[in-house]
Structure 1
Amino acid sequence: MEENQKFSTALSHFILIIGIIIITFPIYYALVTSSQSLQTVLSGKTTLLPGGNFLENYKEIFSTNKNIIQGISIWRLLLNSLIVTICITFGKTIISIMSAYAIVYFKFPFQKTAFALIFLTLMLPIEVRIVPTFQMASSLNFLDSYQGLSVPLIASATATFLFRQFFMSIPDELCEAARIDGAGPLRFFFDTILPLSKTSIAALFVILFIYGWNQYLWPLLITTKQSMGTIIIALTQMIANDGTTPWHLVMGVALIAMLPPILVVVLMQKWFVKGLIDSEK
């Protein structure tokens, strides 16, 4: 029995190690490529060991060299991405939790119809509604602005649905006790609902941050100025069609673009996992 358990444990660890190697190898290869010269990369002699141009390449990336990212500093691109991501993340969270609170704790005409309409938007990806959304943003003068990059993306049916399911799992006795104590809807929301929703908010924050950071299609459409571009857009613009792509710098920028989402996941991993577990309950 013990031998079977040891074999099962060893097999599980072996499978996990193989999976980790498969997942992390592209990241490692990008790191190795970013530390080598362009001549080495283009010659196809890239090795699996880091090269000697690591500091030189990253110094070039973080400089204001106009040949790297359309004359725009990578700091400006990172700042644009961060501002847009924060606006999308907080906007989605605030609107979703308020919508779910209204649907669960308020009685109004066509209540179920309103939730059904919100839920039906899950079937309409951004590619389907992108033309009318662009026309509306254009009529509001949202082109080449942080409002245009973030406001059309702050509604989230998924987050609303998750908050609704969580609120429905809260015992009705809490709401009745709050009414007996004389608490109104706002006080009940801020004193009871929000503290209970901390883990769910943290879990959604991680998901929505990654969603906002990795946006590509909408920022590509809504912006015409290079100064309003995001790091993801700039990364694709570095890849040329005439064979002059600086792949050593592209790999470095790709790794830099990965750092903020990774940092958020690492710092909020405990809250993220706890939020998912509590949501399942």
Structure 2
Amino acid sequence: MRYRRPGLDVATHVILIIGALIFMLPVLLALMASTHTLPSLLSGGLALLPGSEGLDHYIQLLTQPAGGVAVPTWRLMLNSLIMALGIAVGKLTISIIAAYAIVFFRFRFRMLCFWLIFVTLMLPVEVRIVPTYGVVADLGLLNSYPGLILPLIASATATFLFRQFFLTLPPELLEAARLDGAGPWRFFRDILLPLSKTNMAALFVIMFIYGWNQYLWPLLAASDADYATLVMSLRRLTIAQDGVPPWQLATTMTVLALLPPVAVIVLMQRWFVKGLVDSEK
């Protein structure tokens, strides 16, 4: 039931619009600043209107190296995209298989395995960065896509969420699948995966953004410019040249770094919201 209160509806929409504008203000300022020249930005005041450069800075970054970055930005975006997709797909694959084994298979130390996975939530990447770097270096995976992706694909959070969802499924579903002659693989492929689509979509968006925004690990694992990511290269671009960092290019790269995550959220918004609030989970 929805109450009709025109005054409350108007006040709610006004608050939402103000909140959206507050959140969007830094993005709008970066977008406007990317169209100005460096002297214009240094002259004082906020860049609230488009400048005279238009898309020139975007074309410059996408087609040629700039500042302290040794490769064009399109290559950085490609590296970041490969890393983000690899992390998102890897996390989903490992997590759903691990949750499936924990919930539907009966073996010794099953719950111990689950709690060992869950306890890794207390060990973020920053805590285990030194031993992780040592293992990757010993395996010869530095400056490679596997070296960027593999250390980050384990996810206790996704495993826990899939486990909780699987526990809500009625036991009769498994019994019916057995009566129909479905083995473990067929039950997983034909029943569990279709039922988990909304959960997978919501987690994919979260994991993609997590992978795209990685800074510390690519900074250590990718000393070669050919494997550098966009987020880590943004810091190198702000290194001062002749005393003045190229802020007009830094804001341009910032806007470019926002585009893929925003595109993923817009394209998967319906599935993302449904996966978070669906009452049938």
TM-score by length of 1: 0.95
Aligned-partner SS, 1:126: coil
Aligned-partner SS, 2:133: helix
Q: 1:279/1:202 Cα in 2 relative to 1: closer, same or farther (>3 Å)?
A: farther
Give the structure 2 partner of residue 72 of structure 1.
71
Q: 1:241/1:51 Cα in 2 relative to 1: closer, same or farther (>3 Å)?
A: closer
Per mean C-alpha deviation after superposition, the further-off stretch among 114-123 and 42-51 is 42-51
The one-letter code of the counterpart of 1:6 is P
Shift of 1:57: 1.8
Percent of aligned pairs with the same amino acid = 53
TM-score by length of 2: 0.95
Partners of 1:85 and 1:59 lie apart in 2 by: 24
Partners of 1:152 and 1:7 lie apart in 2 by: 53
Give the structure 2 partner of residue 273 of structure 1.
273
Structure 1 gaps, min length 5:
none
Aligned-partner SS, 1:77: helix
Shift of 1:244: 2.1
Shift of 1:156: 0.2
The one-letter code of the counterpart of 2:11 is L
Give the structure 1 partner of residue 170 of structure 2.
171
Give the structure 2 partner of residue 12 of structure 1.
12
Partners of 1:116 and 1:141 lie apart in 2 by: 31
Give the structure 2 partner of residue 35 of structure 1.
35
Give the structure 2 partner of residue 264 of structure 1.
264
Partners of 1:16 and 1:41 lie apart in 2 by: 31
Give the structure 1 partner of residue 153 of structure 2.
154
Are residue 105 (structure 1) and residue 104 (structure 2) matched? yes
Give the structure 1 partner of residue 137 of structure 2.
138
Partners of 2:151 and 2:255 lie apart in 1 by: 28
Are residue 211 (structure 1) and residue 210 (structure 2) matched? yes
The one-letter code of the counterpart of 2:244 is T
How far does the alpha carbon of each residue in 1:23-62 deviate from its partner, in whole angstroms, 9 at most, with x for none? Answer: 0010000011001111101121443111111122222222
Count the aligned residue pairs.
Answer: 277
Partners of 2:122 and 2:133 lie apart in 1 by: 19
How far does the alpha carbon of each residue in 1:171-203 deviate from its partner, in whole angstroms, 9 at most, with x for none? Answer: 111100011111110010001101111111111
Q: 1:232/1:250 Cα in 2 relative to 1: closer, same or farther (>3 Å)?
A: same
Structure 2 gaps, min length 5:
none
Q: 1:125/1:101 Cα in 2 relative to 1: closer, same or farther (>3 Å)?
A: same
> Residues 95 and 162 of structure 2 are in contact (CA less than 8 Å); yes or no, is this contact kept in structure 1?
yes
Partners of 1:279 and 1:219 lie apart in 2 by: 38
How far does the alpha carbon of each residue in 1:225-275 deviate from its partner, in whole angstroms, 9 at most, with x for none? Answer: 112100001111101146321111111110011100000000000000111
> Residues 216 and 232 of structure 1 are in contact (CA less than 8 Å); yes or no, is this contact kept in structure 2?
yes
Per mean C-alpha deviation after superposition, the further-off stretch among 256-265 and 35-44 is 35-44
Per mean C-alpha deviation after superposition, the further-off stretch among 4-13 and 17-26 is 4-13
